[in-house]
Structure 1
């Protein structure tokens, strides 16, 4: 199949969350299965054109955002695995210091226009490149308008006659909902389209609803999350999803084990493996030294690599630190995002500087060192569509402590002292006392070397590779393609 991925982020070029990891990694595995996969993302100022050797293509293209004509260029390079990546360059919308907003966490006031432009530009770029996709795979609210355009304003465009769309929800909390009176004409839809109930959401214009209503297939990033969002976790989209429940797929994300592998990770001080993890102690000692902690092998070291967001359970973490530091527990946290959480974490570090270390500037080598050196990994998310951090932690024998939600419920099983099964520690009610009890239960197990070795073995044996998920994506794509073929045959016969 010809598969086009359209998204707002893609590693290694630009990343604010797990969306970028999926868009930058899944295509490599699809390529290995024989598909022609390509990617389109915006060309943000933060993307270093010289570093990635971006080449400008000889196209001068434009689209309308409302009545304003916006010109753009296409630049390109090859992603590892021989995947073409195309960058939509427009200085007005993407020549900024941030991706979605400034460092205060406030989104840009014209984000609705930015992603109207990007969606239209992606469609026009695809035509200019003469790449006829069997599947356009759209990711999150930023691209929700693409399936809608293909079935409304571009309905009679023969270029996309055989194109199906798949729309993936990475986080249903972010939907792109804007004032309808000004957004409908800016986006170029008719009022009849808006009033058809596929774009309207409580008197607003909702990008995610557009994607869900018009796409051929809906997917999200774990089986449990696919069920949760059809209920109270749906943030208002549950009714739309329930009406399309037969079109909703939950496919667990994977990680790239060639990159996240303690056996040959160049970012850690000593390599180790599931067969011999004695050197993990050296990684812990190095991390303790780097954090300014006492180098105590018996200390229970908790790590966390995360976006600073209340979704990630930082209200629980901040409330728990005072009690946890009464024990021989050390905590290292790497994150960025919400300023309130950042300030709170730095204040806690100042109170407990011998046991709490916080780094608020994202540091890729340090993230590897935390995964390798910590004993356990904190991820008490309030909700978690899939989560990759807990899977990475497992690969390094670092035991996840998680809330039972979304992808965390699909990947982490609570360790039992009765049969020594389970690869982590799980609490099932989002409450501070439950979280603290879970951490202290893990601490008690840690003090029993035999039992801790058992849970580490279980963690190392857990595998969540893209190889396990790519077949499910292929099957989903085939459903979309076959449905489109049947529809086209029907149209010819009427």
Structure 2
């Protein structure tokens, strides 16, 4: 991994949010690349339940101040950064008061998904790309973790198709077990189509379930990692029918060599 640039984009990340399979692997994978001489950038949403004082988040004025259009609304983009001290890893946080100030991640106190989760996911995808453009940093690999980040492959391949910064970047999606029940908002597909993305490329999102979100993500990625032992059967079947590299599940204890080999021999070949 020496000298390779890898952009990690995740829904969740320890130590900023509680440990689960997504947040843990979103930390362990960049830590592995960092320790093997790779260059990394990590992005995640700045949810309101992240303690800014404890984790020493601060706004980066030169990266903030842009407005992103989400479903015909101008939404201000705020960028904050923090460091994971023991690893000397910097994390970029995508923030917006309307979408991320509330003191929860994906659902309310009663367990109901936030009705604007679809817009939050669109905002996050666009915010990551626009910020990386401002950094003028060309990643060799873009590795996506978690469903809130799952629109990034689609937006890179369709909305930002003509962006030269990402011409040679390869997109890897890690697929985890089912992270939410039910569906996002029914008109999610129309909000994405508003950005000029053809509806035929996102037809699965007529029913915006977890499985269908991830199907769209893997369709627009260059390689897939099965990051959990239990993956929904129809999602696994969809992945098995794709003609692209797939890394089967490996445990946390064995992932370092497997992921590094997959990056080097399958993704970057």
Shorter-chain TM band: 0.7 to 0.9
Q: What are the equivalent positions in structure 2 for 1:384-399 lying under 5 Å apart?
A: none
**From 29, 32, 38, the counterpart of 1:29:** 32
**From 192, 204, 207, the counterpart of 2:207:** 204
Deviation at 1:103, TM superposition (A): 2.6
Structure 2 residue aligned with 1:184: 189
Deviation at 1:247, TM superposition (A): 2.1
Which one has more relative contact order, counting CA pairs under 8 Å at least 6 apart? Answer: 2
TM-score (norm 2): 0.87
Cα distance 1:188–1:125, how it changes in 2: closer, same or farther (>3 A)? farther
Structure 2 residue aligned with 1:143: 149
Deviation at 1:176, TM superposition (A): 8.2
Deviation at 1:157, TM superposition (A): 0.6
Quote the RMSD (CA, aligned, Å).
2.3
Paired residues of 2:159 and 2:196 also in contact (CA < 8 A) = no
CA distance in 1: counterparts of 2:267 and 2:21, whole angstroms: 25
Structure 2 residue aligned with 1:47: 50
Paired residues of 1:220 and 1:250 also in contact (CA < 8 A) = yes
TM-score (norm 1): 0.49
Structure 1 residue aligned with 2:22: 19
Looking at secondary structure, tell me which structure has more helix per residue: 1
CA distance in 2: counterparts of 1:179 and 1:72, whole angstroms: 23
CA distance in 2: counterparts of 1:211 and 1:100, whole angstroms: 19
Deviation at 1:216, TM superposition (A): 0.3
Structure 2 residue aligned with 1:100: 106
Structure 2 residue aligned with 1:214: 220
Cα distance 1:204–1:179, how it changes in 2: closer, same or farther (>3 A)? farther
CA distance in 2: counterparts of 1:72 and 1:102, whole angstroms: 23
SS at match of 1:150: helix
**From 83, 87, 109, the counterpart of 2:115:** 109
Structure 2 residue aligned with 1:273: none
Deviation at 1:131, TM superposition (A): 2.1
CA distance in 1: counterparts of 2:189 and 2:60, whole angstroms: 32
Cα distance 1:36–1:251, how it changes in 2: closer, same or farther (>3 A)? farther
CA distance in 1: counterparts of 2:123 and 2:170, whole angstroms: 21
Paired residues of 1:100 and 1:108 also in contact (CA < 8 A) = yes
**From 129, 136, 143, the counterpart of 2:135:** 129
Runs of 5+ consecutive residues of structure 2 not aligned to the other structure: none
CA distance in 2: counterparts of 1:174 and 1:93, whole angstroms: 19
SS at match of 1:50: helix
**From 246, 253, 259, the counterpart of 1:473:** 259
CA distance in 2: counterparts of 1:209 and 1:24, whole angstroms: 24
1:69 and 2:74 equivalent? yes
Paired residues of 1:213 and 1:240 also in contact (CA < 8 A) = no
Deviation at 1:214, TM superposition (A): 0.6
Q: How many residues align?
A: 259
**From 241, 244, 250, the counterpart of 2:242:** 244
CA distance in 2: counterparts of 1:203 and 1:211, whole angstroms: 15
